Amino acid sequence: MVNDLGGAIDGSGASTSAGEKVVAEIQAAGGEAVANADSVATAEGAARIIQSAIDNYGQIDILINNAGNLRDKSFAKLLPEDFDAVVDVHLSGSAYCSLAAWPHMKEANYGRIVMTTSSAGLFGNFGQGNYAAAKMGVFGLMNALKHEGRKFNININTLAPMALTRMTEEIMSDKIKPLVKPEFVTPIVAWFCAEENTTSGDVVEAGAGYYAKVQIVEGAGVVLGGGEIPSPELIQENYEKIADMSQAAPFDSANDIMRHVFRTLRPR
Q: What is the pLDDT of residue 16?
A: 77
Tell me the C-alpha distance between 116 and 87, whole Å: 13
Tell me the C-alpha distance between 206 and 70, whole Å: 20
Dump pLDDT digits (tens) for 154-199.
Answer: 999 999 999 877 667 776 777 778 888 899 999 999 999 999 999 9
Q: Which of 90, 184, 76 is nearest to 139 (CA)?
A: 90
Q: Which of 114, 131, 110 is nearest to 122 (CA)?
A: 131
7-20 mean pLDDT: 77
List the catalytic residue out of 57, 96, 110, 131: 131
Q: Which of 173, 253, 183 is nearest to 218 (CA)?
A: 253
136-141 mean pLDDT: 98
Tell me the C-alpha distance between 197 and 187, whole Å: 13
Dump pLDDT digits (tens) for 17-66.
Answer: 788 889 999 999 999 999 999 999 999 999 999 999 999 999 999 999 99
Q: Using the 8-state DSSP alphabet, how is residue 73 labeled?
A: B
Name the packing angle between helices 93-108 and 129-149 (round to 10°): 10
User: Residue type at 219?
Assistant: G
Q: What is the pLDDT of residue 169?
A: 72
Across all residues in the chain, what is the average pLDDT? 94
User: Residue type at 118?
Assistant: S
SS3 134: helix
> Among 3.40.50.720, 3.40.50.300, 3.40.47.10, 3.30.1490.20, what is the CATH number of 2-214?
3.40.50.720
104-132 mean pLDDT: 98
Active site residue 57: no
Task: Provide CATH code, domain 217-265.
Answer: 1.10.287
The two domains 2-214 and 217-265 share their CATH topology (first three levels equal): no
The ranges assigned to domains in the chain are 2-214, 217-265
